[in-house]
Structure formats: structure tokens, C-alpha cells
Structure 1
């Protein structure tokens, strides 16, 4: 990671949906969700959104290298409402990933606790002693030239959860700079995309499902 140079794409934010309480965007791979430490990491999704929505508030994050659906709040009420939904696991998130190798089963579940790999931060690792519970359901979509396209449905929201879980079962996400190795790392981006987010609208509680097209 010492060779890392932050060079986010310069395209304007893609707004998927907006109303008086919410803004859904399609975050590109390579753009931080929130600012990092230092002026060279100030450019991020929330900063770009504040140009058009100065009142915008953070609800959740996607990793730098992950693309796809993010939701932001436009009011403190919406931020609290959505924050509780994420905390209580009432949202439904679906990701699409391309992983190394041909996955043999049609579907499965990874139930392995995760914690920080302190000597190698920001890496996470499976830790049965102090790790927090982490659960991921997955389903095979198809095989593609020696790789597999999967649908990933996290039931918890641990840092790097999908990335670590896929690596541990022997099928790291292609292009992952932290958890893939060898030829699995030689891709122009990490092949992980937040395809769909389902939640309850903070104004009235109706169900709302927003999706973003997969670019790989």
C-alpha cells in the first residue's frame, strides 16, 4: 500500500434517486466515500454531493475500490432513521462480484467472525477469539473464463466483510489490492459492485429499492 496514489475518477456524481429526505448515488470505484487524512484525500463522494446538496449527511460507506449504490440523508431525521435500519440489519444489500476460480456449489453461506489485522491495517482477518460476527450469503450467477460471477448478500456490515469471506473460501475478488494475489490481482479495478439497496423510506416507511448497473 506504500505505492498507493489516490487518483479518483473526475466524473460528476450519478444520482439514482432523490427526494426531500434521501439521495441515492452510484459511487464509482476509486472514489472515497468520505475524506481521508490529509488534503490529498479530501476529494470524496460526500464532498462532491455537497456542491448540489449542501445539507447532505452520511449514512454508510463503501470501500474506496467498491462501486455501486450509496444512500445519503438530507435531514437529521432521515439520517437517524436510516442509521437505525442499518444498525438493526433491516436493510437488504445485494452485491455482484467476480471472483477467482470456478465456484463448485450453486450457493452457500460464510459465517466467520472478523476483526482488525492490527500489524497489517487496514486489512481485516477471521478471528474466533475477538472478532465480531459476520455472515454472508452467496449465489453463483455463472462461470466466466475460469472465474465466477457471484451474487453476495451480506447479513452483517463488517469492514471488508465480503472481501475477506471470499478470500477465506478460496475465491478472492478479482482486482482486490488487499486480499487477492497473483493473476487474480491483475485487473484494472476491484470487481465488486453494490448492485441493489432496499430500505424503508424515513417519511412513512414505504419500501424503496434502488439499483445501479454493473460496469464489469
Structure 2
């Protein structure tokens, strides 16, 4: 794994869709981002995760003290994250009555709970953990929309569950989209595009971006010219 950024305290990588962030259960789930990184950077430690099917930016600490400090940045919400997604339908139309701020962001709030009978699926439930996501539409097509998302909280599957809860699941989602929407794309259309935070030791502002070329029109993934 080649980092897009490295210094003596932290590493930033772009994880591909389909790769686990950390090892799973069983020998067939040991290949993951953290193991690939630790094979090269022996001091690398996990700070946060992305779902296996989600691609995008992920930060790893170098050493225990860096891990403690970066984890604290996440806990105190000093880390800004922005995702791109392609969702079914046009949420700008169905959610038109939901107030938007001056930048066009709308809020989804719904407590998220693990459905033990169907795990790893999560659901909106009063007994779940309070969760908040922001979203805004970038491009609307006939059958899908390209949107930006910002998670205010960091629950498992949060963005996927919240968009499903308002009737707009993500294309290619094997857990939260019906079969006909899952089949539209070869992967989950969710990507962690931007992440920013103060450096854990110098407090200098850091911002990283890994843009994707997606569209609200089929085939949704836009191939760049060589």
C-alpha cells in the first residue's frame, strides 16, 4: 500500500472498495488494509474504519501516542469528512419540505440500532444510538442522484441506513438496496472523498481529497480518458 500522505506520526491511504479495513473472522478475511499497511509500516495502528464495500480515505496512526491523539480528534468531532454517493431517485424532490441551510445541506436524524436477527444490518429504531447526517444533491438524473454526505456522528452503516430511511438507498448496496438497485452497479456507490483535521502534534490544518468521477446517469461510474 502506498500512502497519499505520510509523516512520522500518521499515514493516509485511499482504500479500494471490497477491501476490509481490519481483519474479519476466519482465515479468508485476514487480508485487509491494516495488515497490508503494517507489513510495510510496522508502527501503523488503526484509528477508524470504512465499510468493506466503501472506498476512500482512511487515516492510520504511527505509534500509540499518535493513535491516542488522533482518536481524540475523532471523539471531539475535530475531523471533517465528506462522502460522495449515488442514490436511487431524487431526494431533492421527495425531501423538498425538509429545511436546507444556505449551502443547500439537509439533515437526516434517526437513532441507529443493530438488528440482531439480521446482523450486520442496522435499522432506525428509538432504542438505537442518536445519529445525524447531512446531505445535498450535486446532480439529479432520471433514475438516480449524485449526492454529497457529511456524517455528524459515526455509527456503523450510518450514511447507508439514513439514505435508505428516507427512501433513497445507495446503488450497489448489498445490504440496504433491493436487488434491482444493487444490480445497477458492480460496487457500492459510496466513497469517502475528503477528510480534514488538525495535525495531532503540530495542530497545522490538514486536508486530503480523493475525488471520484461519478454521475447521476448510467453507467454512473465515469471512466476517465487515458
Q: Does 1:199 align with 2:187?
A: no
Task: Render the CA deviation track for 1:102-148: whole Å, top value 9, x for unaligned.
Answer: 222454110111111110000111111x2111000001000134200
Task: Render the CA deviation track for 1:152-188: whole Å, top value 9, x for unaligned.
Answer: 0000000000000000001001000000003211120
SS in 2 for 1:47: helix
SS in 1 for 2:154: coil
Q: Which residue in 1 is equivalent to 2:82?
A: 94
Separation in 2, partners of 1:96, 1:210: 14
Choose from 162, 178, 182 the match for 1:185. 182
Separation in 2, partners of 1:50, 1:172: 34
Equivalent runs, 1:1-216 vs 2, <5 Å:
13-103=1-91, 104=93, 105=96, 107-128=105-126, 130-186=127-183, 187-214=185-212, 216=221
Task: Render the CA deviation track for 1:181-202: whole Å, top value 9, x for unaligned.
Answer: 0321112000000001111111
Q: Normalization by structure 1: what TM-score?
A: 0.91
> Unmatched 5+ residue regions in structure 1?
1-12
Q: Which residue in 2 is equivalent to 1:7?
A: none
Q: How many residues align?
A: 203
Separation in 2, partners of 1:180, 1:14: 33
Comparing 190-199 with 144-153, greater Cα deviation is found at 144-153
SS in 2 for 1:52: coil
SS in 2 for 1:199: strand
Separation in 2, partners of 1:182, 1:159: 22
Deviation of 1:18 (Å):
0.6
Q: Normalization by structure 2: what TM-score?
A: 0.87
Separation in 1, partners of 2:65, 2:208: 20
Separation in 2, partners of 1:76, 1:54: 12
Separation in 2, partners of 1:74, 1:213: 25
> Unmatched 5+ residue regions in structure 2?
97-103, 214-220, 222-226
Separation in 1, partners of 2:2, 2:146: 25
SS in 1 for 2:134: strand
Decide whether the 8 Å contact of 1:94 with 1:152 is kept in 2.
Answer: yes
Separation in 2, partners of 1:182, 1:48: 32
CA RMSD across the alignment: 1.1
Task: Show structure 1 runs of 4+ deviating over 4 A.
Answer: none
